[in-house]
C-alpha cells in the first residue's frame, strides 16, 4: 500500500483554488439516476470515493465517463435495483442510492454499507424515513430488500438531523406524487447543493438549509449540467496546513459564509483570517494559541470532519485545549498516532485534552480514517524530520492528489510506493 513521506519544516505559502466537494458530488451522482437523460457533473473531483460510486452506478447499468469538463453520468440507464455487495460495503455513500433507486424503480436491494471506521454509523434514520413513505423493508442476513410499490408522500420527522438520511428521503420523494416534508432536517450546505441540482433537473424542492424541507413530487426529471459547491472541508484542511506551519494562504472558489465556525476557531488560535466574496486568506502567527473548547455539532456548528485537522493544530499550540466530539463516537484514533510524533493528548470517551508541545518529531504513523489521515499530513508538515504515513488510500478517498497540492504551496510531501 502506498504512503506519504513528509519532510517537515517548510512554511506553506501561496494560492490555490478549491474544487467541488466530495460530500456534494456523491449524493449528486446518486440523484442522477432520477433523471431520464444523462447529467454532467462539472469539475467533479478525481477522488477514490467518486471512482467507487462510478463502480456501483456501473453495476446498476449506469455508465459514466470523464471528459474535459467533468463527469457525465448516464443515470437514465438505471436497469437494476440490487447494489453490488463488495463495493457497497466499501463506500458508505452507497446508502444514498437507496432513495433515488426506489424513486425510479420502486424496489431496491442493498447490503449494510461501509465507510470510514469512525463509529457505528447506523442507518436507522434512513430506513425509518423511507418506511414513513410507505416503503416495506425486510432485512435478511445483512441484505435489505426494499419494496416501494406503495410509496406515497409523507411528513417525515428525523429524530436527529442526519445528513445522509435527509438527502435520502429528499431523493426518494422527488418522483413520488404529492408533498413530502422533512422536519428536523440536516442543514449542511451540501444539502442545499443537492436541492439546486434536483431543481436544475426539473424538481420542486425548497427549504434546504433550514430544518424544514418541502418536496413536491414531479412526474419526470431530465439530466442537467451542474457545478457542485466547493469542498469546505478540503478548504479548511489547507487553511490548517498554513496555520500549523506559520504560513500564509489564499483560497479562491470558496464561499466563506459556509466556513464560519472553522474561521472563528482559527482566529481564536491567533490566525488572521480575511473573507472576501469568493476568497479566503489566512496568515498564521509564529506560534498558534490553544483554543479553549471545541465541540463538534451538526451544521452550522463546528464540523466533525474538521475535528481531526484541529487536533493536529492543538498539538503544537501554546496552552491546553479540549475537544468534544458529539457527532461520531470513535473519532480519536488519530490521538494515538499524534502521540507517536510527540503530542500530549489524553482521550476519555468523547473528549480529548490536548496540552500543546513545543514541537513534534517525525515518526512512522498510520492513517486510520480519511480526515485523521489528512491531519497526520498536517502534523508531518510541522514536525522535525521525516514522517512516514501509511494508509494513504484513505486520504485519496477525499483529497485529489493532496501531495501535489501541498508541494505547489512549498511543502515536501512525496508519495512512496510502500511503507513496511
Ligand atoms: C455526512 C458526511 C460526513 C460527515 C457527516 C456529518 C457525506 C458523504 N458524508 O455523513 O463527511 O462527517 O455527514 O457531518 O456527506 N446516524 C444514526 N442513524 C442514521 C444516520 C446517522 O444514528 O440513520 C448518526 C451517525 O452514526 C452519526 C450521526 O448520526 O453519529 C451523523 O451522521 P450523518 O449526519 O448521517 O452523517 P453521514 O451522512 O453518514
Of all protein residues, whose CA lies closest to atom 2 belonging to ligand 1?
23
HSE-CB at 225 with a 13 A cutoff on CA atoms is: 4
Kindly list the structural domains of the chain, giving each domain's residue range(s) and its CATH number in brackets, ordered by start.
Answer: 3-19+231-416 (3.65.10.10), 22-226 (3.65.10.10)
Question: 29: Cβ below 6 Å to ligand 1?
Answer: no
Q: CA of 6: how far to CAs of 1, 90, 102, 316, in Å?
A: 16, 28, 46, 17
Question: 301: Cβ below 6 Å to ligand 1?
Answer: no
Determine whether 116 is an active site residue. Answer: yes
- Other CB atoms within a 10 A radius of the CB of residue 160 amount to 11
In what helix (H) or strand (E) does residue 320 lie, and over which residues does it extend? strand 320-324
Q: What is the pLDDT of residues 241-265, one digit of tens each?
A: 999 999 999 999 999 999 999 999 9
Question: 94: Cβ below 6 Å to ligand 1?
Answer: no
Q: Among residues 44, 59, 62, 116, which one is catalytic?
A: 116
Alpha-carbon gap, residue 39 to 56, rounded angstroms: 17
Alpha-carbon gap, residue 102 to 393, rounded angstroms: 32
Q: What is the pTM for the complete model shown?
A: 0.96
**What integer pLDDT is reported at residue 253 of this predicted model?**
98
Question: Which atom number of ligand 1 is nearest to the Cα of residue 127?
Answer: 23
Question: 388: Cβ below 6 Å to ligand 1?
Answer: no
Query: Is pLDDT at 69 greater than 60 in this prediction?
Result: yes
Question: Which atom number of ligand 1 is nearest to the Cα of residue 24?
Answer: 15
Alpha-carbon gap, residue 160 to 173, rounded angstroms: 19
Of all protein residues, whose CA lies closest to atom 19 belonging to ligand 1?
123
Instruction: For residue 180, give the C-alpha cell.
Output: 413530502
Question: 371: Cβ below 6 Å to ligand 1?
Answer: no
Query: pLDDT confidence of 371, banded at 50, 70, 90?
Result: very high
Of 83, 76, 89, the closest CA to residue 56 belongs to: 83
Query: pLDDT confidence of 143, banded at 50, 70, 90?
Result: confident
Cα-to-centroid distance, 404 and ligand 1 (Å) = 29
Q: 35 φ, ψ to 5°?
A: -90, 160
Q: What is the pLDDT of residues 277-333, one digit of tens each?
A: 999 999 999 999 999 999 999 999 999 999 999 999 999 999 999 999 999 987 899
Q: What is the DSSP secondary structure assignment for residue 419, as one 8-state letter?
A: -
Q: What is the pLDDT of residues 177-205, one digit of tens each?
A: 999 999 999 999 999 999 999 999 999 99
Question: 123: Cβ below 6 Å to ligand 1?
Answer: yes
- Other CB atoms within a 10 A radius of the CB of residue 207 amount to 18
Alpha-carbon gap, residue 346 to 313, rounded angstroms: 15
Q: CA of 350: how far to CAs of 323, 344, 345, 385, in Å?
A: 8, 17, 13, 32
Is 342 in contact with 384 (CB distance < 8 Å)?
no
Cα-to-centroid distance, 163 and ligand 1 (Å) = 6
Amino acid at each position: 500500500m502506498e504512503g506519504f513521506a513528509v519532510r517537515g519544516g517548510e512554511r506553506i505559502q501561496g494560492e490555490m483554488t478549491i474544487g467541488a466537494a466530495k460530500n456534494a458530488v456523491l449524493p449528486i451522482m446518486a440523484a442522477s439516476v432520477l433523471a431520464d437523460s444523462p447529467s454532467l457533473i462539472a469539475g467533479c473531483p478525481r477522488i477514490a470515493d467518486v471512482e467507487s460510486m462510478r463502480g456501483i452506478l456501473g453495476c446498476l447499468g449506469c455508465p459514466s465517463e470523464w471528459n474535459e469538463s467533468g463527469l457525465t453520468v448516464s443515470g437514465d440507464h438505471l436497469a437494476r435495483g440490487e447494489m453490488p455487495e463488495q463495493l457497497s460495503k466499501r463506500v458508505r455513500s452507497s446508502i444514498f442510492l437507496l432513495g433515488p433507486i426506489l424513486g425510479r424503480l420502486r424496489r431496491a436491494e442493498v447490503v449494510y454499507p461501509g465507510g470510514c471506521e469512525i463509529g457505528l454509523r447506523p442507518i436507522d434514520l434512513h430506513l425509518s424515513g423511507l418506511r414513513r413513505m410507505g416503503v416495506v423493508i425486510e432485512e435478511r442476513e445483512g441484505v435489505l430488500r426494499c419494496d416501494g410499490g406503495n410509496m406515497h408522500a409523507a411528513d417525515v420527522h428525523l429524530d436527529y438531523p442526519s445528513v445522509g438520511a435527509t438527502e435520502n428521503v429528499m431523493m426518494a420523494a422527488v418522483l413520488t406524487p404529492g408533498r413530502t416534508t422533512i422536519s428536523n432536517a440536516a442543514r449542511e450546505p451540501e444539502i442545499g447543493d443537492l436541492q439546486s441540482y434536483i431543481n436544475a433537473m426539473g424538481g420542486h424542492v425548497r427549504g434546504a438549509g433550514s430544518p424544514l424541507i418541502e418536496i413536491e413530487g414531479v412526474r419526470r426529471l431530465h439530466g442537467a449540467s451542474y457545478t457542485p459547491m466547493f469542498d469546505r472541508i478540503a478548504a479548511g484542511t489547507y487553511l490548517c496546513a498554513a496555520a500549523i506551519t506559520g504560513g500564509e494562504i489564499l483560497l479562491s472558489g470558496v464561499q466563506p459564509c459556509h466556513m464560519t465556525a472553522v474561521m472563528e476557531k482559527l482566529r481564536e488560535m491567533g490566525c488572521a483570517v480575511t473573507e472576501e466574496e469568493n476568497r479566503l486568506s489566512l496568515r498564521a502567527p509564529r506560534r498558534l494559541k490553544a483554543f479553549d473548547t471545541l465541540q463538534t455539532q451538526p451544521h452550522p456548528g463546528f464540523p466533525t470532519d474538521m475535528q481531526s485537522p484541529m487536533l493536529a493544530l492543538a498539538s503544537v499550540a501554546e496552552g491546553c485545549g479540549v475537544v468534544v466530539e458529539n457527532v461520531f463516537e470513535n473519532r480519536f484514533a488519530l490521538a494515538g498516532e499524534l502521540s507517536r510524533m510527540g503530542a500530549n493528548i489524553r482521550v476519555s470517551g468523547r473528549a480529548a485534552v490536548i496540552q500543546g508541545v513545543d514541537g513534534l518529531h517525525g515518526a512512522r504513523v498510520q492513517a486510520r480514517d480519511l480526515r485523521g489521515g489528512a491531519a497526520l499530513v498536517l502534523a508531518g508538515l510541522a514536525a522535525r524530520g521525516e514522517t512516514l504515513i501509511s494508509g494513504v488510500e484513505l486520504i485519496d478517498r477525499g483529497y485529489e492528489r493532496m501531495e501535489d497540492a501541498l508541494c505547489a504551496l512549498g511543502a515536501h510531501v512525496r508519495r512512496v510506493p510502500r511503507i513496511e
